[in-house]
């Protein structure tokens, strides 16, 4: 069932997958635009996304929405809700979706009995933080086209990593307004940016399908550096040669 689980760093082995599988008490189908959890709500369950797409988001007082993350199939959506007890944001379904529920009591048992799996669940929640950092960079340093390209490059990489779509083409059931809420742009401006990218031959976003016509341009425009996705397992090829034994070269005490 959880074939795509943990597809990135440190994938689960068969035994671990089976352990998590056994902890599932319910599989549920939800309709598009269903709200799954609200900010501040006490949660007794965490969610694995089996199929479809979810978003996590906050709304400001004026009702403006900001996406915090896009969840793709295989994601452990809100495992941080187990240590945290409640969420600081909302979770909702973008498309029809299938989710699996795991009671927090089971997670507690697993983490006590299985240090290896506990470690990997920790890792998963850290990947979440790493994704957030990618979003901070996108919003803080890129303009409209840059943000859209960065988001699409990230999403392409994540979907490829779980075997959904190719680097040139994947399914993404968002509206332009959703895309804007992810990238901090209005829907009007999102439309204009997409048009520009389309006529520049970079990419096309239509009917929930993304086609990347010029991957190099997408990466360049989005200043996309996938380091933060931790797609490789720590044995990192790029940028730094030797392992650092000590941080800093500051004056010692």
176 contacts DNA (rule: CB under 7 A): yes
Measured from the CB atom, the residue of 52 and 144 that comes closer to DNA is 144
Question: CA-to-CA distance for 13 and 22, rounded, in angstroms?
Answer: 14
Q: Which of residues 185-244 bind DNA (CB under 7 A)?
A: 185-189, 191-195
153 contacts DNA (rule: CB under 7 A): no
Binding segment for a second copy (CB under 8 A), chosen from 16-24, 132-140, 161-169, 195-203, is 132-140
Three-state helix/strand/coil letters over the chain: CCCCCCCCCCCCCHHHHHHHHHHCCEEEEECCCCEEECCCCECCEEEEEEECCEEEEEECCCCCEEEEEEECCCCECCCCHHHHCECCCEEEECCCEEEEEEEHHHHHHHHHHCHHHHHHHHHHHHHHHHHHHHHHHHHHHCCHHHHHHHHHHHHHHHHHHCCCCECCEEECCCCHHHHHHHHCCCHHHHHHHHHHHHHCCCEEEECCEEEECCHHHHHHHCCCCHHHHCCCCCCCCCCCCCCCCCCCCCCCC
40 contacts a second copy (rule: CB under 8 A): yes
Question: CA-to-CA distance for 153 and 149, rounded, in angstroms?
Answer: 6
Measured from the CB atom, the residue of 139 and 160 that comes closer to a second copy is 139
**117, 183, 194, 218: which one binds a second copy (CB under 8 A):** 183
Measured from the CB atom, the residue of 60 and 207 that comes closer to a second copy is 60
Measured from the CB atom, the residue of 47 and 176 that comes closer to DNA is 176
Residue 145 near which of DNA, a second copy, none (CB within 5-8 Å, type-dependent): DNA
**1, 13, 15, 132: which one binds a second copy (CB under 8 A):** 132
Measured from the CB atom, the residue of 134 and 165 that comes closer to a second copy is 134
Measured from the CB atom, the residue of 149 and 165 that comes closer to a second copy is 149
Question: CA-to-CA distance for 178 and 157, rounded, in angstroms?
Answer: 19
Give Cα 171 to chain centroid, integer Å: 15
Residue 143 near which of DNA, a second copy, none (CB within 5-8 Å, type-dependent): DNA
Query: What tokens appear for 50 in the block?
Result: 């089996």
Q: Which of residues 97-136 bind DNA (CB under 7 A)?
A: none
245 contacts a second copy (rule: CB under 8 A): yes
**1, 15, 18, 129: which one binds a second copy (CB under 8 A):** 129
173 contacts DNA (rule: CB under 7 A): no
34 contacts a second copy (rule: CB under 8 A): yes
**7, 52, 134, 144: which one binds DNA (CB under 7 A):** 144
Question: CA-to-CA distance for 160 and 229, rounded, in angstroms?
Answer: 12
Q: Which of residues 79-98 bind a second copy (CB under 8 A)?
A: 80, 83-86, 88-89, 91, 93, 98
């Amino acid at each position: 069932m959880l074939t795509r689980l943990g597809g990135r760093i440190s994938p689960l082995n068969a035994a671990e997958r089976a352990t998590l599988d056994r902890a599932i008490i319910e599989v549920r189908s939800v309709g598009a635009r269903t709200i799954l959890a609200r900010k501040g709500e006490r949660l007794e369950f965490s969610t694995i996304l089996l199929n479809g797409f979810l978003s996590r988001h906050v709304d400001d007082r004026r009702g403006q929405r900001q996406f915090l993350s896009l969840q793709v199939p295989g994601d452990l959506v809100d495992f941080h809700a187990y240590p945290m007890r409640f969420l600081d944001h909302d979770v909702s379904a973008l498309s029809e979706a299938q989710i699996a529920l795991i009671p927090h009591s089971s997670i507690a048992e697993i983490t006590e009995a299985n240090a290896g799996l506990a470690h990997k669940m920790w890792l998963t929640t850290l990947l979440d933080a790493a994704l957030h950092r990618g979003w901070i960079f996108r919003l803080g340093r890129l303009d409209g086209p840059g943000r859209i390209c960065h988001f699409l490059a990230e999403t392409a990489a994540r979907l490829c990593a779980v075997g959904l779509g190719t680097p040139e083409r994947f399914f993404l059931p968002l509206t332009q307004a959703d895309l804007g809420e992810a990238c901090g742009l209005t829907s009007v401006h999102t439309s204009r940016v997409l048009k520009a990218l389309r006529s520049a031959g970079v990419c096309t976003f239509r009917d929930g399908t993304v086609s990347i016509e010029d991957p190099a341009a997408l990466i360049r425009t989005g200043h996309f550096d996938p380091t933060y996705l931790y797609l490789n397992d720590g044995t990192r090829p790029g940028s730094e040669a030797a392992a650092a034994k000590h941080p800093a070269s500051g004056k010692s005490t």
